[in-house]
Chain A
């Protein structure tokens, strides 16, 4: 079923169940976001995708990543008020993640070079380095990889992210999906000395080697795959990646 509505006066259509943000981008309208990814359920944390939506005669400023398309609504993606709020949100985010290049770039687009708010406690330290609590790492690990190694903890201004009990995440297979999803690149994903490290979570796993002695994946990860896809033969991973 297609849903018809307007964005900035332009008639658009989308499949029912889609959200306004993805639809707008498909039509080339630029709306900023940091916590959104098409592969996972929208969360609505960063608040950058604020737009004005008029439904049934009532206008409301709302995030559009978690707004399902509706017949007849009209969406406005840019206005002085919207820009002002986005700029303020970016000032808040910049204070949390002062060293994150993607955040600095986006902030510049809205005229924000520095933040009037003091650096977040912990910003720049290894623990809280540039994390903006967008939740993409948690959501990706839960919805796509389905390992559930990470979670939000606490609440309010004490909210954080990490593994249960803030230890090394026990189920983590060091696949790197969280590091790939992170919009501020604050997770860190390296391989050295036969070990794969997901830096932010302090997860280190020894790598398995192929029959030519080259490390290619963590042993723990391979075991996980073998358990989940029972058809993989026991010696499948012994061969070099190119020969399988």
Chain B
């Protein structure tokens, strides 16, 4: 994402520092994470200290300061999904992909993350794979899907 596009976003919010959360979200919608150069650029343009933007980026769970994998596997950890065994799905992904929840595989193919309830509780346990909501997941069905995605790209 180039800095000119960042300036367009800042302009859309009238360069108003109180719109910081929205500006960061709009940037991440395009760049898929918050690259450091962009964070520094936003700080300069809005005349806010880097400290404040870093605090925001690490406080709010939706922001990522590192690039993420091609396939994002989000496991819902809401209460309804929890009583239906959501934790086991996370453990399965950690086993299959050999990373800890929150991390990304070395080949940048998969990111595993947890989210606290997306409001599709009737379908629990639920995993969002590349934006698609998949309900009634079991460790078995999850492994199969991840295998398939991995093979499609010629990855592992």
Which B residues are closer than 8 A to A by beta carbons?
36, 49-55, 58-59, 61, 65
Contacts and interface: CB of A to CB of B under 8 A. Distances in A.
Interface in A128-156: 138, 142, 148-155
Interface of A: 138, 142, 148-155, 163-165, 170-171
B51 A155 contact: no
A148 B52 contact: yes
Q: Most B CB atoms within 10 A — which of A149, A151, A154? A: A151
A148 to B, nearest CB: 4
Contact of A153 (B49, B55, B61): B55
Contact of A142 (B51, B58, B59): B51
Contacts of B58: 153-155
Contacts of A154: 58-59
B59 A164 contact: no
Contacts of A142: 49, 51
B33 to A, nearest CB: 14
B55 A151 contact: yes
B36 A165 contact: yes
A149 B65 CA distance: 19
18 contacts: A142-B51, A148-B50, A148-B51, A148-B52, A150-B51, A151-B49, A151-B52, A151-B54, A151-B55, A153-B55, A155-B58, A155-B61, A163-B51, A164-B51, A164-B54, A165-B54, A165-B65, A170-B50
Contacts of A163: 51
Nearest to B54: A164
